[in-house]
Amino acid sequence: MDTVLVTGISGFIAKHVALELLRQGYAVRGTVRALGGADEVRRSLAAQGADVARLTCVAADLDRDVGWAEAVSGCRYVQHIASPFPLEVADDREALVPAARDGALRVLDAALTAGVERVVMTSSMVAMMYRPGRPAECSIHEGDWTDAEWAPLTPYIVSKTRAERAAWERMRTAGAEARLTSVNPGFVLGPLLDAKSSTSIDVVKMFLTGAYPALPPVAFPVVDVRDLATVQVCAMTLPAAGGRRLIAAGETITMRDMALALRAAFPARRRRIPRWVLPAGVVRFAGLFDRALRALRGDLGVTPIADSAYVTALTGVEFRPAAEAVVAAGRSLEALHLI
């Protein structure tokens, strides 16, 4: 039985990946910052019908070297998913880089030393989407890279771009590019497995609880976390996925269309869910005083379209409609009494 290391297993995406791995018969070893968090992961996956007898957890932190050699020992594959993604926007655009970049390199170095067959690194479409001078409708392709020096970028976007670039450079230097696959998801929605939310799901929560009085005129490619988990596991074993960047996203949806989907699905909450869209100029001006709105500067006036047909051809994953992922996120928030 092959063992797969899943970094940051208590996270939203990582738990779904671990669930898919357990369903497919793998043994899963997950990293947590403190072993006290392992019981929650075990309960969540068991509630989904997973055989948690094949699940173990070890303590390892992206900020420290300690524990990573032991974590990867005996693993055939690594799913490196852990990365900081705070909802609050820091002033320092490089604030998240050390944890994201250096943490990824720690995992890769440990994996190379241990002879791991392949590392699947969860990057993001944000590492592909942003540069000056983009057209109003911008198709995002596998070879595209975000310009990390572009002024409007948030610390999260900078960290994901620098971390992925550093990962590919490390594997090129080691002559091991084929042992790395990056998966670059769009905006990740879909159902929570437990009451531990995520930054992306918190956006849906804010829709449903009336936290947004109006909507910014922005759009994002969306992926349901269940489809993302399937892509991640496929990327681990498919020979043709080695050395590739796999865009995991289907439809692009505007914030307004997200709100309309939620208004239709949650009629009792309709009055709380906004439907009015702010002009881009108003968002830019308000961003001078509001960090959250300032973080949207790079998204105003551009509709990014994920060129992911090659991923469907490679993995067989047909991405769910964006509205379905949005509503599934809302229903899980309701079922878990988080709204």
Helices marked H in 133-245: 155-173, 199-208, 225-237
Write the CA distances from 22 to 35, 139, 156, 219, 241, integer angstroms. Answer: 20, 35, 30, 34, 21
Q: Name the nearest CA neighbour of 176 among 74, 71, 78.
A: 78
The CB density around residue 220, as the number of other CB atoms within 10 Å, is 25
CA angle 221, 223, 227 (to 5 degrees): 155
Indicate which residue of 15, 160, 196, 205 is catalytic: 160
Q: Name the nearest CA neighbour of 81 among 50, 41, 133, 51.
A: 41
Backbone angles phi, psi at 336, to 5 degrees: -90, 5
**Is 196 noted as a catalytic residue in this protein?**
no
Q: How many Å apart are CA 39 and CA 182, to the nearest integer?
A: 29
Contact 242, 181 (CB under 8 A): yes
Contact 249, 306 (CB under 8 A): yes
The CB density around residue 80, as the number of other CB atoms within 10 Å, is 27
Strands (E), the chain: 3-6, 27-32, 55-59, 77-80, 118-122, 137-140, 180-185, 187-189, 219-224, 245-248, 252-254, 303-306
The CB density around residue 308, as the number of other CB atoms within 10 Å, is 27
Specify the 3-state DSSP secondary structure of 101.
helix
Q: How many Å apart are CA 187 and CA 322, to the nearest integer?
A: 10
Q: Which residues are tagged catalytic?
A: 160
